[in-house]
Amino acid sequence: MTLGTYTVTMLNGLSAAASGLIVVLAFVIVQSGSHGVSQQDRSFAFKAEQANNAEIAEGRLAHTHGTASTVRALGSRMVRDHTSAAAALDVVARGEHLAVTSSLGAANAQQLQRLRSLHGQAFDDAYVGESIPEHRQAIAVLQHEIAGGSDLALRAWARRTLPALQTHLSLFEHARRAGR
């Protein structure tokens, strides 16, 4: 799967529209103020930001280093979807006066470095194989926040993001069954 000029133009248009919407949402959230954020919510937001950052970095790598078209397409999708999720989470985090991180975290940075050292089918297999438990873990973290988080904006973000991660998990599982 490759992105044609039309698709790239549409994505750029959507990005501009999404950016405008994010600015409006940020203003509304900031205007509503923060009523205190629990430690669970702070931890969730931090972990979710790191996971999004890692998925974006790994997705970029998969798009350029992937051998199979499926792997390159999955990489592109991870970049697109996790960039959108990260932008929406940043709006919520800033509205709740939470520090925003661009960090991947030590474990994610090590994994990215390991992926960079692989080539060909070894890269494809590792990217797909490692993305499955990552997405299972991310789904569990989102479900935990939805069930027990105290911040309504973070819980709403988790509810909106969960279906995309479930779809990602299905796509990676299908790619593994198909041999990539």
User: Are residues 178 and 122 in contact, defined by beta-carbon separation less than 8 angstroms?
Assistant: no
Confidence at residue 156, expressed as pLDDT on a 0 to 100 scale: 96
Query: How buried is 166 (Cβ within 10 angstroms: 0-12 exposed, 13-18 middle, 19+ buried)?
Result: middle
Structural domain span for residue 18: 5-177
Taking the CA of residue 60 as centre, how many other CA atoms within 13 Å lie in the half-sphere pointing to its CB? Answer: 8
Q: Which helix (H) or strand (E) holds 65?
A: helix 39-65
Confidence at residue 99, expressed as pLDDT on a 0 to 100 scale: 86
CATH code: domain of residue 87: 1.20.1260.10
- Rounded Cα–Cα distance for residues 177 and 180 (Å): 7
Check whether 32 has a pLDDT greater than 80: no
Could you report the per-residue pLDDT of 44-74, keeping only the tens digit for each? 999 999 999 999 999 999 999 999 999 999 9
Q: Provide the number of structural domains found in the chain.
A: 1
Could you report the per-residue pLDDT of 109-133, keeping only the tens digit for each? 999 999 999 999 999 999 999 999 9
Q: Which residues contact 67 (CB under 8 A, 6 or more apart)?
A: 120, 121, 123, 124, 180
Confidence (pTM): 0.78
